[in-house]
């Protein structure tokens, strides 16, 4: 058997603990598959409770994660601290600059600094790997980068945030309020340290930007992702969606329109019989539409210690076997500047919910605003939830629907911003 791959793990929180446990519990199997052991030689964690909760065997416990980048007895640094800058970024720069392979689950850092880090890895001749950054345990980056590499990809979309999917599923099944369910998702270890990243769509935007870079050979462009979250949604949205044959999901979508790439994260209605409508709870799903393979669908646990550890260890195993791939599928210097297309010009049917003081009295005004903006009305309900008028539209441009909503908001008193969701046909 060859020399071990020597690993340093920075951060022993949920994912760090899971990664160390997986490497220890399946050590024999991993060594057999790699032809060499994958051994944790040092871990870094400042929180004493976190450190005490993980059995890291003979590995040395350090206070300072940055020290891992300096040690000559480490081949790979695994960063599981989080945050798009700060220590995580410094560690990435030092490790890659010091010719150590670098594995991370940090979607925020890759979404903000992916190209810089990929360039640094290539300059040093080491591997940058971040499978765990997108869709937890689902090996979607590897699938796009390797198995589907012969295809021209048209669209990648799906459910990329387990916390939001957990909340939307529980809202649908129990009718319980948003805040209670979010607290539950946090207790289960699904949510980000700052859960606004989950519920406002930011976490899914990080993942969408990374997927777009891989799928379309473009630089990661987080600013181009039009992002909306789920905090304004209520159980009634799921009830009415179900009545109409749909289900509400927070989708990330990256799509080549021919006139540029659209990237967006927003709650949408998807047909109840579509594969992603049936993906519930913390599960994620990714759908790739490509020219030769057509449609492939991937589903699995998108968050939590064990599935995410599975992805981190998969990267370590690939590195132990030789590594050397380009993080975004092509040399980082050849990634093209993204050419974003205007999301507001996309057309679809819409679901809208307004909260006027007098729902029955508001119907005529809402219908007139939609008509004036050229948005056809398909259904209108004022009796599904107290204080609500719900509308479904025919096909209309996003910009026209936005204008109609603004016009309603300007013409009558509403409690809160109107809820606006596309009704997707894919
Ligand atoms: N907070 C994320 C989620 C964790 O809920 O999906 C995995 O990226």
What domains are defined for the chain? 5-136+307-334 (3.40.50.720), 146-301 (3.30.360.10), 343-423 (3.30.70.260)
Expressed in angstroms and rounded, the spacing between residue 190 Cα and the centre of ligand 1 is: 6
Q: What is the pLDDT of residue 185?
A: 87
Burial 98-117 (b: 16+ CB within 10 A, else e): bebbbbbbbbbbbbbbbbeb
Pick from 388, 309, 353: which is nearest to 132 by CA?
309
Pick from 76, 80, 64: which is nearest to 40 by CA?
76
Q: Are 400 and 374 within 8 A, CB to CB?
A: yes
Q: What is the pLDDT of residue 341?
A: 85
Burial 48-78 (b: 16+ CB within 10 A, else e): eebbeebebeebeebeebebbbebeebbbbb
Give the per-residue SS3 of the chain: CCCCEEEEEECCCHHHHHHHHHHHHCHHHHHHHHCCCEEEEEEECCCHHHHHCCCCCCCEEECCHHHHHHCCCCCEEEECCCCCCHHHHHHHHHHHHCCCEEEECCHHHHHHHHHHHHHHHHHHCCCEECHHHCCCCCCHHHHHHHHCCCCCEEEEEEECCHHHHHHHHHHHHHCCCHHHHHHHHHHCCCCCCCCHHHHCCHHHHHHHHHHHHHHHCECCCHHHCEECCCCCCCHHHHHHHHHCCEEEEEEEEEEECCCCEEEEEEEEEEECCCHHHHCCCCEEEEEEEECCCEEEEEEEECCCHHHHHHHHHHHHHHHHCCCCCCCCCCCHHHCECCCECCHHHCEEEEEEEECECCHHHHHHHHHHHHHHCCCCEEEEECCCCCCCEEEEECCEEHHHHHHHHHHHHHHCCECCCCEEEEECCC
Q: What is the pLDDT of residue 179?
A: 85
What does the block give as tokens for 123?
């300059």
Q: Are 423 and 348 within 8 A, CB to CB?
A: yes
What does the block give as tokens for 91?
């560690």
Atom index in ligand 1 nearest the CA of residue 303 equals 7
Question: How many residues are there in the chain?
Answer: 426
Query: CA-CA distances (angstroms) from residue 415 to 8, 154, 199, 393?
Result: 52, 39, 20, 21
Q: What is the pLDDT of residue 340?
A: 85
Q: What is the pLDDT of residue 390?
A: 98
Expressed in angstroms and rounded, the spacing between residue 192 Cα and the centre of ligand 1 is: 6
Q: What is the pLDDT of residue 112?
A: 98
Rg (the chain; Cα; Å) = 23
Active-site option among 100, 107, 142, 207: 207
Q: What is the pLDDT of residue 39?
A: 98
Q: What is the pLDDT of residue 399?
A: 95
> Alpha-carbon distance 270 to 424, whole Å?
5
> Alpha-carbon distance 255 to 263, whole Å?
6
> Alpha-carbon distance 391 to 348, whole Å?
14
> Alpha-carbon distance 244 to 424, whole Å?
13
Atom index in ligand 1 nearest the CA of residue 161 equals 6
Q: Are 379 and 392 within 8 A, CB to CB?
A: yes
Ligand 1 site residues (CB inside 6 A) read: 136, 161-163, 190-192, 198, 203, 302-303
Q: What is the pLDDT of residue 279?
A: 97
Expressed in angstroms and rounded, the spacing between residue 305 Cα and the centre of ligand 1 is: 11
Q: Positive or negative CA dihedral for 226, 232, 238, 240?
A: negative
Q: What is the pLDDT of residue 191?
A: 85
- Return the residue whose CA atom lies nearest to atom 4 of ligand 1: 303
Phi, then psi, of 355 in degrees rounded to 5: -120, 75
pLDDT tens per residue across all 426 residues of the chain: 799 999 999 999 999 999 999 999 999 999 999 999 999 999 999 999 999 999 999 999 999 999 999 999 999 999 999 999 999 999 999 999 999 999 999 999 999 999 999 999 999 999 999 999 999 999 999 999 999 999 999 999 999 999 999 999 999 999 998 888 999 988 888 888 889 999 999 999 999 999 999 999 999 999 999 999 999 999 999 999 999 999 999 999 999 998 899 999 999 999 999 999 999 999 999 999 999 999 999 999 998 899 999 999 999 999 999 999 999 999 999 999 988 888 878 899 999 999 999 999 999 999 999 999 999 999 999 988 889 999 999 999 999 999 999 999 999 999 999 999 999 998
pTM of the model: 0.96
Q: Is 48 a catalytic residue?
A: no
> Alpha-carbon distance 14 to 28, whole Å?
23
What does the block give as tokens for 30?
């991993």
Q: What is the pLDDT of residue 329?
A: 97
What does the block give as tokens for 245?
């044959």
Q: Are 220 and 209 within 8 A, CB to CB?
A: yes
Expressed in angstroms and rounded, the spacing between residue 212 Cα and the centre of ligand 1 is: 18
For residue 31, give every residue at least 6 positions away whose Cβ sits within 8 Å of its Cβ, in sequence order, or none: 1, 37, 38
Phi, then psi, of 105 in degrees rounded to 5: -105, 15
Atom index in ligand 1 nearest the CA of residue 166 equals 5
């Amino acid at each position: 058997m060859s020399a071990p791959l020597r690993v340093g793990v920075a951060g022993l929180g949920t994912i760090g603990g899971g990664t160390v446990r997986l490497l220890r519990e399946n050590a024999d199997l991993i060594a057999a598959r790699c032809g060499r052991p994958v051994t944790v030689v040092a871990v870094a964690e400042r929180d004493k409770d976190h450190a005490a909760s993980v059995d890291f065997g003979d590995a040395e416990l350090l206070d300072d994660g940055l020290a891992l980048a300096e040690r000559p007895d480490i081949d790979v640094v695994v960063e599981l601290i989080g945050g798009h800058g700060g220590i995580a970024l410094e560690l990435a720069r030092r490790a890659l600059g010091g010719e150590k392979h670098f594995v991370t689950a940090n979607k925020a850092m890759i979404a903000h600094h992916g190209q810089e880090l990929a360039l640094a890895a290539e300059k040093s001749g080491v591997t940058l790997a971040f499978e765990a950054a997108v869709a937890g345990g689902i090996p979607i980056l590897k699938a796009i980068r390797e198995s589907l590499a012969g295809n021209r990809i048209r669209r990648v979309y799906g459910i990329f945030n387990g916390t939001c999917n957990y909340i939307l599923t529980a809202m649908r099944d129990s009718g319980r309020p948003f805040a209670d369910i979010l607290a539950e998702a946090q207790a289960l270890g699904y949510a980000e340290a700052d859960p606004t990243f989950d519920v406002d769509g930011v976490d899914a935007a990080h993942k969408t930007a990374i997927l777009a870079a891989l799928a379309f050979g473009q630089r990661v462009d987080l600013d181009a992702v039009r992002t909306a979250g789920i905090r304004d949604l209520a159980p009634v949205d799921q009830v009415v969606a179900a009545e109409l044959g749909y289900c509400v999901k927070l989708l990330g979508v990256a799509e080549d329109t021919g006139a540029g790439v659209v990237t967006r994260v927003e709650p949408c209605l998807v047909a109840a019989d579509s594969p992603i409508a049936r993906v519930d709870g913390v599960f994620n799903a990714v759908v790739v539409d490509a020219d030769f393979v057509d449609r492939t669908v991937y589903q699995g646990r998108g968050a939590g210690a064990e599935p995410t550890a599975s992805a981190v260890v998969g990267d370590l195993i690939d590195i132990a076997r030789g590594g050397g791939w380009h993080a975004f599928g092509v040399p980082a210097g050849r990634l093209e500047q993204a050419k974003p297309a205007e999301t507001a010009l996309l057309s679809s049917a819409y679901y809208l919910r307004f909260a006027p003081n007098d729902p029955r009295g508001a119907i005529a005004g809402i219908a007139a605003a939609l008509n004036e903006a050229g948005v056809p009305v398909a259904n209108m309900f004022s009796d599904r939830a107290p204080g609500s008028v719900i509308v479904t539209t025919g096909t209309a441009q996003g910009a026209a629907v936005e204008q109609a909503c603004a016009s309603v908001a300007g013409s009558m008193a509403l409690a809160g911003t109107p809820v606006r969701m596309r009704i997707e046909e894919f």
